[in-house]
């Protein structure tokens, strides 16, 4: 089978499209023919081996993950022993970040427990764009942020996958006043998915403004957590789902002290992959969720696309397909 292979840490340019052996499912695993996958922050960090903690999990000198790719959507090819829920021909999707990665390949083996059925009417391209970003958004907004109807929400880094799905999830909860922070080139897309206000971070620092929010969801985390307190309402919550490593450590370190001193919460999401895909399917069936797609592109473009993702210019989710 064809796959994008990672042999050493470094530039995305050193990734290679190769023929490798097709995997065989073990007990409890499902072999999926991948129709679509995406580019994620995990891939950007894994390929470069940076920040440093990536090497703690994925190999210090050389990566122990041969094929990157965090999300996938496809069709069940075969099943291993003791698989109950799926059979050949079923369409499935998943975040496979805890299943060995492997989305940048024609086939991947995934534990049955990590898969969700694709709802009727969802395409492979749409399905691939959902699992990772939607879980970050749901667990950030609902689980950590305790978002309630009628509250005011701000999303920093709003034009990517988490932001464009997060605003739709917020709307489904009953939040209609949602501000998005990103570069101006993404504003048209952001307004189309439900943002009521947009701010260009290159022109305006929202942490010095007069507006106040009940919940802030941050996908960038490029400021000290103390900077966000002035724009949080009393009792408000700041939630980060990723960003600069020193800032994430500050959230962990100072979060309890900030809550004690200010009665405002500062939280970091510890992702639970695929936990809420049943809820995602409900939102999809109700017409309340549709991913914003950048692409789709072909598999041989993955090295270029990872570099493109790293510049932050992408809009929504960058999707790659095996279809010619």
User: Cβ neighbours of residue 313 under 8 Å, at least 6 residues apart?
Assistant: 183, 185
Query: What pLDDT is recorded for position 258?
Result: 86
The fraction of the chain above a pLDDT of 70, given in percent, is 99
Q: Report which of 94, 98, 1, 4 is spatially closest to residue 42, judged by C-alpha positions.
A: 98
Q: Which pair of tokens denotes residue 4?
A: 């994008």
> Checking DSSP bridges between strand 16-19 and strand 213-218, what pairing results, if any?
unpaired
Measured from the Cβ of residue 195, the count of other Cβ atoms closer than 10 Å reads: 29
Contact 308, 314 (CB under 8 A): yes
Contact 166, 305 (CB under 8 A): no
> Checking DSSP bridges between strand 213-218 and strand 232-240, what pairing results, if any?
parallel
Instruction: Provide the mean pLDDT of the chain.
Output: 95
Query: What pLDDT is recorded for position 322?
Result: 85
Contact 137, 165 (CB under 8 A): yes
pLDDT tens-digit readout, 77-131: 999 999 999 999 999 999 999 999 999 999 999 999 999 999 999 999 999 999 9
Q: How confident is the model at residue 248 (pLDDT cuts 50, 70, 90)?
A: confident
Averaged pLDDT for residues 192-215: 96
Measured from the Cβ of residue 62, the count of other Cβ atoms closer than 10 Å reads: 12
Query: What pLDDT is recorded for position 255?
Result: 78
Least confident of 13-17, 94-98, 187-191, 223-227: 223-227
What is the set of domains in the chain, with CATH numbers? Answer: 2-130+291-321 (3.90.180.10), 132-268 (3.40.50.720)
Q: What global pTM score does this model have?
A: 0.95
Q: Which residue do the tokens 């696309």 mark?
A: 305
Q: Is the pLDDT of residue 324 over 60?
A: no
């Amino acid at each position: 089978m064809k796959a994008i292979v990672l042999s050493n840490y470094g530039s995305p340019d050193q990734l290679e499209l190769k023929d490798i052996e097709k995997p065989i499912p073990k007990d409890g695993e499902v072999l999926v023919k991948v129709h679509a996958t995406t580019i994620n922050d995990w891939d950007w960090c894994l390929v470069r081996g940076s920040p440093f903690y990536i090497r703690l999990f994925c190999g210090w000198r050389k990566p122990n993950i041969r094929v990157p790719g965090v999300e996938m959507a496809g069709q069940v090819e075969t099943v291993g022993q003791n698989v109950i829920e799926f059979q050949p021909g079923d369409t499935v999707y998943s975040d496979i970040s805890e299943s060995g990665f492997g989305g940048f390949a024609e086939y991947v083996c995934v534990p049955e427990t990590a898969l969700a059925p694709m709802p009727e009417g969802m395409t492979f391209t749409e399905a691939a764009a959902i699992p990772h970003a939607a879980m970050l958004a749901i667990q950030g907004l609902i689980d950590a942020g305790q978002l309630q109807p009628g509250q005011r929400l701000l999303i920093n880094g709003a034009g990517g996958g988490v932001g464009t799905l997060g605003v739709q999830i917020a709307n489904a909860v009953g939040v209609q006043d949602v501000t998005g922070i990103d570069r101006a080139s993404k504003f048209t897309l952001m307004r189309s998915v439900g943002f009521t206000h947009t701010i260009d971070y290159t022109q305006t620092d929202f942490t010095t403004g007069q507006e106040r929010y009940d919940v802030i969801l941050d996908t960038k985390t490029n400021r000290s957590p103390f900077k966000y307190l002035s724009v949080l309402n009393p009792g408000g919550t700041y939630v980060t789902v990723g960003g600069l490593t020193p800032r994430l450590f500050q959230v962990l370190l100072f979060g309890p002290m900030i809550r004690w001193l200010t009665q405002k919460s500062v939280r970091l999401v510890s992702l639970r992959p695929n936990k809420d895909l049943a809820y995602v399917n409900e939102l999809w069936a109700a017409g309340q969720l549709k991913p914003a797609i950048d692409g789709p592109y072909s598999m041989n473009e993955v090295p270029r696309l990872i570099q493109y993702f790293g510049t932050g210019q992408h809009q929504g989710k960058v999707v790659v397909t095996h279809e010619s």
